[in-house]
Amino acid sequence: MIGYGRYQYRYASGREGDWCLLGLASHKRYISLYVTAEDGKGGYLAEAYRDRLPKADIGKSCVRFRRLDDLDQDSLRELVREAARSSAASAT
C-alpha cells in the first residue's frame, strides 16, 4: 500500500493514532483507494462521492473498484484534490 499525507484520529476511548490521508492498495479482485479526509459535515469525504462514482463500492473512507475505466476519472480526480486540500487546511 502506498500512502500520502497524514490523518490523525482519536477515538472516544482516548486512543489516538496516525494514518495516511490517501492510500492506494491493490487486492486480488479490486483496487482500494482509502480517503480518510472528512467532509466538514461529520462524515467521510468518500461517502459524499457515492452518487458520482456509481460503479465503485464505497464505504466510510474506502473506494473499491475493479478497473480505473469503471470510474468517472474527473470525479475521482476531484475527490483526491479535495482530500489533499482538506489536509492542507487542517495542517495550518
Summarised one tens digit per residue, pLDDT across range 33-67 is: 999 988 888 788 999 999 999 999 999 999 999 99
Cell of 39: 467532509
Is residue 62 within 8 Å of 35, Cβ to Cβ?
Answer: yes
Of residues 38 and 77, which shows the higher confidence score? 77
The confidence band for 92, taking pLDDT boundaries of 50, 70 and 90, is very low
